[in-house]
Chains A and B, each alone.
Chain A
Amino acid sequence: MTTSLSTSRGFLFGAMTGRATVITLGLILGAAVLVPVLNALPDGSPFKVPTYTVSLFGKYLCYALLALAVDLVWGYCGILSLGHGAFFALGGYAMGMYLMRQIGDRGVYGHPVLPDFMVFLNWKELPWYWYGFDNFAFAMLMVALVPGILAFAFGWFAFRSRVTGVYLSIITQAMTYALLLAFFRNDMGFGGNNGLTDFRDLLGFDLRSDGVRRGLFIASALALALGYIACRFVTTSRLGKVLIAVRDAESRSRFMGYRVEHYKVFVFTLSAVLAGIAGALYVPQVGIINPGEFAPINSIEIVIWVALGGRGYLFGAIFGALAVNIAKSYFTVAFPEIWLFFLGALFVLTTLFLPKGCAGLLSILKFPGLGTGMGFARKKEAGND
């Protein structure tokens, strides 16, 4: 993934993120080892990390992967998607369907096949689209395929019709809102308002056990690390340079012979798949998936994480998601009524004073001292972005 870097030191953020890549991956993988180890310590140990915290941070790692997905399309290709929550939720539902099927006949109604809510609705048999979800591999395939196919179809129509800018953002909001309404309906067959919950097992192991919780944390960290590497590979490849070219001067890229719509569809689909994987890992850790995950506001929040962390810096997106959500956990307990104001204020302040987010600030502060020979000032005066 660093192959093309050597010849392209001028590549946006190139040298900086070379180091950032190593640090980011180190931190993620370090957490993947350390947190489960600390959780396995005996009760009473001062270093013991409670299982609750493991899952909480596992959830944040999923958000970080989601933020990464949004940064890939927004930061590198200029596609401001305000609908990524939908891909996240679809991945979550696919995982939820598998977990529902894992319950088997242990539901409240004891039906051997049908999930409780279907029995409650007097359904006699499993809808066709629930077939196969008792198979883990199939379900995991759907985790990637369903968001991927939706994004491909959506992107195909939107990008081919050259819908861009605020119009694109609006239709992505409409997409997630339409899905919200659809999933609320009982006859959609996804549990309506209540969604899917009361999960028991994952691959036959008790979902509430510490071991599975640790496993899910490790899986989330690995997914984030792999997602990060995939995004690094894409953004540092020659294709990544085209994405940035499209972001900065779309029509110029067209007149150069690039099929902009193909590039956008590719990156939008890849991003949706990453979001779907994030959703799938999220659901077993929070124990529920319901239509609320499609709420348009969720998708807007993801964009705020990325903006705060630093649009166009992959590690910035990860940092933004973690920082905002850790702050959120604290604030919603300590001062529940001001959280949204706080988040709003933070967003406005970053937009005004830190257009490149925290990562941008870091690179301004660090660059002169690093002596990499790539003056940040020179880039700054370019006034790009």
Chain B
Amino acid sequence: MTRIPTPVMQATAVPAEAPFDISPGAPTMAAGSLLYLDNVSVSFDGFRAINKLSMIIKPGEMRAIIGPNGAGKTTMMDIITGKTRPDEGDVIYQGKVDLTKHDEAAIANMGIGRKFQKPTVFESHSVYDNLLLALKQDRRVFPMLFRLPSKDEQTRIDELLALTRLGDLRETVAGSLSHGQKQWLEIGMLLAQDPQLLLIDEPAAGMTDAETEETAKLLKDIAQTHSVVVVEHDMDFIRSLGVRVTVLHEGSVLAEGSLDQVSANQRVVEVYLGR
């Protein structure tokens, strides 16, 4: 079977929506999209972790990304958030900003929030302070030196504490939270940033089934008002999200469509699901 150059569905699967037909380099495609990756490649010591990857995320969309270990899912997020510079290709945000020209802090302040694969919270700060630091605010040095917590901030933090069910743990040092609680705190921190686009890497990793279910619910809620890209290995989780799925393999898009569609895809079965 030959490689599929563009992220269209296999002929057998009939896409629910019209398949994306990304013609590389077409500027019109970026217009109206929230995130537009075009022909992006990056190599580490000669190894192509991302290989001519193209993808479009529409405003308000929730997208699930799956793929075997080492497929390049985390690396893709690294590229979008400015941690890794691609060797070639464009990453266009909101149809106008070339993200490859900005660093992590600038990209975060443009409204792209990220949750890491390994939950990363500020371990020696309380849950409250973790959220306080995450809140959208003027993050320059001197304003931060003199700013006191405002009523609005308190209210917002209380909301987030309720949403992430961490209300009773407000003053607890984040380092002593359970794994699942840290995952939730990190999602709370993401929301505190009030981003337009959330990139969420394996939110259910290390969670119990019940926690996983709760997390799926939470993400669906979040997706009502935000655009979300979520990477996950857990198929039940993906299924419960019920959103469009992109399968990554060896740094490029292998298939895209509903979970049933991609599951029926022969190549996807070969590289991923069938193992």
Across the interface, do B171 and A9 meet the contact criterion of CB distance under 8 Å? yes
Per-residue B-contact encoding for A235-278, CB less than 8 Å = 1, 0 else = 00111011011001101111111111011001000000000000
Across the interface, do B105 and A259 meet the contact criterion of CB distance under 8 Å? yes
In the bound complex, CA of A151 to CA of B172 (Å): 36
Write out the residue numbers on chain A whose beta carbons fall within 8 Å of the beta carbon of B1: none
Across the interface, do B125 and A12 meet the contact criterion of CB distance under 8 Å? yes
Across the interface, do B105 and A260 meet the contact criterion of CB distance under 8 Å? yes
Q: Is A383 an interface residue (CB 8 A)?
A: yes
Across the interface, do A381 and B122 meet the contact criterion of CB distance under 8 Å? no
In the bound complex, CA of A242 to CA of B149 (Å): 14
B89-143 CB contacts (< 8 Å) to partner A: 103-105, 108-109, 113-114, 116, 120-129, 132-134, 139-141
Across the interface, do B114 and A255 meet the contact criterion of CB distance under 8 Å? yes
Which has the most chain A C-beta neighbours within 10 Å: B83, B114, B125? B125
Across the interface, do B144 and A382 meet the contact criterion of CB distance under 8 Å? no
In the bound complex, CA of A58 to CA of B139 (Å): 40
Across the interface, do B133 and A241 meet the contact criterion of CB distance under 8 Å? yes
Across the interface, do B126 and A10 meet the contact criterion of CB distance under 8 Å? yes
Smallest CB–CB gap between B142 and chain A, Å? 8
The residue in chain B whose Cβ has the minimal distance to the Cβ of A237 is: B145
Write out the residue numbers on chain B whose beta carbons fall within 8 Å of the beta carbon of A383: 123, 175
Smallest CB–CB gap between B29 and chain A, Å? 27
Query: Number of residues in B with C-beta < 8 Å to the partner?
Result: 42
Across the interface, do B124 and A257 meet the contact criterion of CB distance under 8 Å? no
Q: Is A385 an interface residue (CB 8 A)?
A: yes
In the bound complex, CA of A242 to CA of B140 (Å): 11
The residue in chain A whose Cβ has the minimal distance to the Cβ of B127 is: A10
Total inter-chain residue pairs, C-beta < 8 Å: 124
Across the interface, do A384 and B141 meet the contact criterion of CB distance under 8 Å? no
The residue in chain A whose Cβ has the minimal distance to the Cβ of B134 is: A256
Q: When A9-B171, A11-B129, A252-B116 are in contact, do A384 and B145 touch as well, CB less than 8 Å?
A: no
In the bound complex, CA of A238 to CA of B124 (Å): 14
Checking B81, B149, B171, B189 against A10 with a beta-carbon cut-off of 8 angstroms, the contacting residue is B171
In the bound complex, CA of A239 to CA of B81 (Å): 23
Q: Is B47 an interface residue (CB 8 A)?
A: no
The residue in chain A whose Cβ has the minimal distance to the Cβ of B174 is: A382
Q: Is B44 an interface residue (CB 8 A)?
A: no
Smallest CB–CB gap between B203 and chain A, Å? 15
A362-385 CB contacts (< 8 Å) to partner B: 374, 378-379, 381-385
Write out the residue numbers on chain B whose beta carbons fall within 8 Å of the beta carbon of A237: 144-147
Across the interface, do A254 and B123 meet the contact criterion of CB distance under 8 Å? no
Write out the residue numbers on chain A whose beta carbons fall within 8 Å of the beta carbon of B134: 256
Q: Is A234 an interface residue (CB 8 A)?
A: yes
Q: When A237-B146, A256-B134, A257-B105 are in contact, do A378 and B173 touch as well, CB less than 8 Å?
A: yes
Q: Is B227 an interface residue (CB 8 A)?
A: no
In the bound complex, CA of A10 to CA of B130 (Å): 10
Across the interface, do B139 and A257 meet the contact criterion of CB distance under 8 Å? yes
Across the interface, do A238 and B132 meet the contact criterion of CB distance under 8 Å? yes
Q: Is A3 an interface residue (CB 8 A)?
A: yes
Write out the residue numbers on chain B whose beta carbons fall within 8 Å of the beta carbon of A249: 120-123
Across the interface, do B145 and A238 meet the contact criterion of CB distance under 8 Å? yes
The residue in chain A whose Cβ has the minimal distance to the Cβ of B146 is: A237
Checking A256, A260, A381 against B133 with a beta-carbon cut-off of 8 angstroms, the contacting residue is A256
Q: Is B193 an interface residue (CB 8 A)?
A: yes
In the bound complex, CA of A254 to CA of B120 (Å): 12
Q: Is B225 an interface residue (CB 8 A)?
A: no
Write out the residue numbers on chain B whose beta carbons fall within 8 Å of the beta carbon of A379: 124, 173, 175-176
The residue in chain A whose Cβ has the minimal distance to the Cβ of B81 is: A255
Write out the residue numbers on chain A whose beta carbons fall within 8 Å of the beta carbon of B171: 9-10, 374
Write out the residue numbers on chain B whose beta carbons fall within 8 Å of the beta carbon of A3: 148
In the bound complex, CA of A266 to CA of B141 (Å): 8
Q: 27 A-B residue contacts at CB 8 Å? A: A4-B149, A8-B132, A9-B171, A237-B144, A237-B145, A238-B145, A238-B148, A239-B145, A241-B129, A241-B132, A241-B133, A245-B125, A248-B124, A253-B133, A255-B83, A255-B116, A256-B108, A256-B133, A257-B105, A257-B108, A257-B139, A263-B141, A266-B141, A378-B176, A379-B124, A382-B123, A383-B123
Binding site for A on B (CB under 8 A): 81, 83, 103-105, 108-109, 113-114, 116, 120-129, 132-134, 139-141, 144-149, 154, 170-176, 189, 193
